[in-house]
Amino acid sequence: MSSPAVEAVDVRRSYHLDGVSVEALRGVSLRIDPGEYVAVVGPSGSGKSTLMHLLGCLDRPTSGMLRVGDRDVATLGDGELAGLRNRTIGFVFQSFQLLGRTTALDNVALPLVYRGVRRAERRERAEAALTAVGLAHRLGHRPGQLSGGEQQRVAIARALVGEPGLLLADEPTGNLDTGSGAEIMALLDGLVRDRGVAVVVVTHDPEVAALARRRVRMRDGLIE
Protein backbone atom coordinates (compact mmCIF):
# COMPACT_ATOMS: atom_id res chain seq x y z
CA MET A 1 0.00 0.00 0.00
CA SER A 2 1.32 3.45 -0.89
CA SER A 3 2.03 6.06 1.76
CA PRO A 4 -0.91 8.27 2.76
CA ALA A 5 -0.87 11.96 1.98
CA VAL A 6 -1.43 12.38 5.72
CA GLU A 7 -2.48 10.05 8.53
CA ALA A 8 -3.45 10.59 12.16
CA VAL A 9 -3.59 7.61 14.53
CA ASP A 10 -5.27 8.08 17.93
CA VAL A 11 -4.20 11.73 17.94
CA ARG A 12 -4.96 13.86 20.98
CA ARG A 13 -4.38 17.56 21.51
CA SER A 14 -4.73 19.29 24.86
CA TYR A 15 -4.32 22.96 25.75
CA HIS A 16 -3.80 24.52 29.15
CA LEU A 17 -5.87 27.67 29.59
CA ASP A 18 -5.86 29.53 32.92
CA GLY A 19 -4.72 26.41 34.73
CA VAL A 20 -7.43 24.25 33.14
CA SER A 21 -6.66 21.47 30.65
CA VAL A 22 -8.90 21.53 27.59
CA GLU A 23 -8.88 18.46 25.34
CA ALA A 24 -9.56 19.70 21.81
CA LEU A 25 -8.99 16.30 20.17
CA ARG A 26 -9.72 13.14 22.13
CA GLY A 27 -8.31 10.32 20.02
CA VAL A 28 -8.78 10.96 16.32
CA SER A 29 -7.72 8.51 13.62
CA LEU A 30 -7.94 9.58 9.99
CA ARG A 31 -6.12 8.51 6.81
CA ILE A 32 -6.22 10.61 3.64
CA ASP A 33 -4.69 9.09 0.54
CA PRO A 34 -3.23 10.87 -2.50
CA GLY A 35 -6.01 12.12 -4.77
CA GLU A 36 -8.74 12.05 -2.12
CA TYR A 37 -11.20 14.92 -1.69
CA VAL A 38 -12.41 15.09 1.91
CA ALA A 39 -14.66 17.57 3.74
CA VAL A 40 -14.35 17.92 7.51
CA VAL A 41 -17.59 19.20 9.01
CA GLY A 42 -19.05 19.79 12.47
CA PRO A 43 -20.26 22.52 14.80
CA SER A 44 -18.03 25.22 16.27
CA GLY A 45 -15.80 23.79 18.97
CA SER A 46 -15.89 20.28 17.50
CA GLY A 47 -12.14 20.19 16.85
CA LYS A 48 -12.13 20.88 13.10
CA SER A 49 -9.63 23.71 13.22
CA THR A 50 -7.36 21.88 15.67
CA LEU A 51 -7.33 18.87 13.35
CA MET A 52 -6.57 21.13 10.37
CA HIS A 53 -3.60 22.67 12.19
CA LEU A 54 -2.23 19.23 13.02
CA LEU A 55 -2.69 17.83 9.51
CA GLY A 56 -0.92 20.92 8.18
CA CYS A 57 2.00 20.51 10.62
CA LEU A 58 1.26 23.94 12.10
CA ASP A 59 1.02 22.24 15.49
CA ARG A 60 2.04 18.94 17.06
CA PRO A 61 -0.21 16.39 18.78
CA THR A 62 -0.03 15.93 22.53
CA SER A 63 -0.06 12.17 21.92
CA GLY A 64 -0.70 9.72 19.10
CA MET A 65 1.03 9.40 15.73
CA LEU A 66 0.88 11.86 12.84
CA ARG A 67 2.48 11.01 9.50
CA VAL A 68 2.83 13.15 6.41
CA GLY A 69 3.78 10.90 3.52
CA ASP A 70 6.26 8.49 5.07
CA ARG A 71 7.51 10.95 7.72
CA ASP A 72 6.53 10.64 11.37
CA VAL A 73 6.11 14.21 12.60
CA ALA A 74 7.33 13.27 16.10
CA THR A 75 10.80 12.48 14.73
CA LEU A 76 11.27 15.91 13.13
CA GLY A 77 12.82 19.04 14.63
CA ASP A 78 11.17 22.39 14.10
CA GLY A 79 13.33 23.22 11.08
CA GLU A 80 12.69 19.83 9.47
CA LEU A 81 8.97 20.21 10.12
CA ALA A 82 8.92 23.64 8.50
CA GLY A 83 10.74 22.22 5.48
CA LEU A 84 8.28 19.33 5.19
CA ARG A 85 5.38 21.76 5.40
CA ASN A 86 6.86 24.00 2.70
CA ARG A 87 7.53 21.10 0.31
CA THR A 88 4.42 18.99 0.68
CA ILE A 89 1.48 21.04 1.99
CA GLY A 90 -0.45 23.96 0.51
CA PHE A 91 -2.83 26.16 2.50
CA VAL A 92 -5.89 28.14 1.46
CA PHE A 93 -7.60 30.32 4.06
CA GLN A 94 -10.98 32.06 4.24
CA SER A 95 -9.31 35.47 4.53
CA PHE A 96 -6.94 34.83 1.57
CA GLN A 97 -3.80 35.92 3.55
CA LEU A 98 -2.28 37.82 0.63
CA LEU A 99 0.28 40.62 0.94
CA GLY A 100 -1.64 43.79 0.09
CA ARG A 101 1.20 45.76 -1.51
CA THR A 102 2.52 42.84 -3.54
CA THR A 103 1.43 41.76 -7.01
CA ALA A 104 -0.39 38.50 -7.63
CA LEU A 105 2.75 37.12 -9.27
CA ASP A 106 4.97 37.90 -6.29
CA ASN A 107 2.38 36.67 -3.78
CA VAL A 108 2.32 33.33 -5.55
CA ALA A 109 6.11 33.14 -5.84
CA LEU A 110 6.66 33.75 -2.12
CA PRO A 111 6.77 30.09 -0.94
CA LEU A 112 9.55 29.43 -3.45
CA VAL A 113 11.68 32.14 -1.85
CA TYR A 114 11.94 29.98 1.27
CA ARG A 115 13.10 27.06 -0.87
CA GLY A 116 15.93 29.11 -2.32
CA VAL A 117 14.54 28.96 -5.87
CA ARG A 118 16.13 31.54 -8.16
CA ARG A 119 14.08 34.60 -9.09
CA ALA A 120 13.65 33.80 -12.78
CA GLU A 121 12.39 30.29 -12.01
CA ARG A 122 10.14 31.61 -9.21
CA ARG A 123 8.45 34.01 -11.58
CA GLU A 124 8.09 31.38 -14.31
CA ARG A 125 6.48 28.89 -11.92
CA ALA A 126 4.24 31.54 -10.35
CA GLU A 127 3.02 32.63 -13.78
CA ALA A 128 2.24 29.01 -14.67
CA ALA A 129 0.31 28.57 -11.40
CA LEU A 130 -1.73 31.72 -11.99
CA THR A 131 -2.42 30.66 -15.56
CA ALA A 132 -3.67 27.30 -14.24
CA VAL A 133 -6.29 29.06 -12.08
CA GLY A 134 -7.38 31.37 -14.89
CA LEU A 135 -5.51 34.53 -13.87
CA ALA A 136 -2.88 34.92 -16.58
CA HIS A 137 -4.31 38.41 -17.21
CA ARG A 138 -3.91 39.51 -13.57
CA LEU A 139 -0.20 38.87 -12.92
CA GLY A 140 0.66 42.48 -12.08
CA HIS A 141 -2.48 43.30 -10.09
CA ARG A 142 -2.39 43.76 -6.32
CA PRO A 143 -5.04 42.15 -4.09
CA GLY A 144 -7.00 45.41 -3.74
CA GLN A 145 -7.44 45.46 -7.52
CA LEU A 146 -8.95 41.96 -7.57
CA SER A 147 -12.40 40.61 -6.70
CA GLY A 148 -12.81 38.24 -3.77
CA GLY A 149 -13.00 35.25 -6.09
CA GLU A 150 -9.85 36.35 -7.90
CA GLN A 151 -8.02 36.82 -4.60
CA GLN A 152 -8.93 33.29 -3.58
CA ARG A 153 -7.66 32.03 -6.94
CA VAL A 154 -4.35 33.78 -6.22
CA ALA A 155 -4.28 32.04 -2.83
CA ILE A 156 -4.88 28.68 -4.50
CA ALA A 157 -2.13 29.37 -7.04
CA ARG A 158 0.22 30.19 -4.16
CA ALA A 159 -0.71 26.90 -2.49
CA LEU A 160 -0.04 25.01 -5.72
CA VAL A 161 3.21 26.64 -6.85
CA GLY A 162 5.29 24.28 -4.73
CA GLU A 163 3.49 21.24 -6.20
CA PRO A 164 2.22 19.91 -2.85
CA GLY A 165 0.71 16.48 -2.37
CA LEU A 166 -1.79 17.83 0.14
CA LEU A 167 -3.90 21.00 0.03
CA LEU A 168 -5.77 22.16 3.14
CA ALA A 169 -8.58 24.66 2.66
CA ASP A 170 -10.18 26.32 5.70
CA GLU A 171 -13.63 27.72 4.80
CA PRO A 172 -12.36 28.62 1.29
CA THR A 173 -15.71 30.06 0.19
CA GLY A 174 -16.59 31.80 3.46
CA ASN A 175 -15.91 35.34 2.17
CA LEU A 176 -17.23 34.79 -1.35
CA ASP A 177 -20.56 35.23 -3.08
CA THR A 178 -22.36 32.12 -4.30
CA GLY A 179 -21.07 32.30 -7.88
CA SER A 180 -17.43 32.86 -6.88
CA GLY A 181 -17.68 30.12 -4.26
CA ALA A 182 -18.92 27.64 -6.85
CA GLU A 183 -16.00 28.52 -9.13
CA ILE A 184 -13.49 27.96 -6.32
CA MET A 185 -14.99 24.58 -5.43
CA ALA A 186 -14.90 23.52 -9.09
CA LEU A 187 -11.24 24.52 -9.16
CA LEU A 188 -10.47 22.39 -6.09
CA ASP A 189 -12.34 19.46 -7.63
CA GLY A 190 -10.19 19.79 -10.74
CA LEU A 191 -7.01 19.61 -8.66
CA VAL A 192 -8.08 16.25 -7.32
CA ARG A 193 -9.14 14.96 -10.72
CA ASP A 194 -6.32 16.31 -12.88
CA ARG A 195 -3.32 16.50 -10.55
CA GLY A 196 -4.00 13.83 -7.93
CA VAL A 197 -3.65 16.35 -5.09
CA ALA A 198 -5.27 15.29 -1.81
CA VAL A 199 -7.67 18.09 -0.82
CA VAL A 200 -9.12 18.54 2.67
CA VAL A 201 -11.78 21.23 3.09
CA VAL A 202 -12.95 22.37 6.53
CA THR A 203 -16.38 23.93 6.21
CA HIS A 204 -19.66 24.79 7.93
CA ASP A 205 -21.43 24.92 4.56
CA PRO A 206 -23.35 21.69 3.72
CA GLU A 207 -23.37 22.56 0.03
CA VAL A 208 -19.57 22.83 -0.01
CA ALA A 209 -19.24 19.58 1.97
CA ALA A 210 -21.56 17.77 -0.44
CA LEU A 211 -19.07 18.31 -3.28
CA ALA A 212 -16.38 16.23 -1.56
CA ARG A 213 -16.00 12.50 -2.22
CA ARG A 214 -15.91 11.77 1.52
CA ARG A 215 -17.26 13.64 4.52
CA VAL A 216 -15.80 13.39 8.01
CA ARG A 217 -18.08 14.68 10.77
CA MET A 218 -16.59 15.84 14.06
CA ARG A 219 -18.17 16.50 17.42
CA ASP A 220 -16.60 17.10 20.84
CA GLY A 221 -13.07 16.36 19.65
CA LEU A 222 -13.96 13.02 18.05
CA ILE A 223 -14.89 11.72 14.61
CA GLU A 224 -18.50 10.57 14.72
Q: How confident is the model at residue 218 (pLDDT cuts 50, 70, 90)?
A: very high
Mean pLDDT in residue range 5-31: 92
Mean pLDDT in residue range 26-49: 94
Look up the pTM and report it.
0.90
pLDDT digits (tens, 9 = 90+) for 144-190: 999 999 999 999 999 999 889 999 999 888 888 888 888 888 888 88
Domain boundaries, the chain: 35-63+78-223
CATH superfamily of the domain spanning 35-63+78-223: P-loop containing nucleotide triphosphate hydrolases (3.40.50.300)
Residues with Cβ within 8 Å of residue 159, at least 6 apart in sequence: 90, 91, 92, 167
Higher pLDDT, 84 or 94: 84
Is 70 exceeded by the pLDDT of residue 50?
yes
Distance CA 118, CA 134 (A): 24
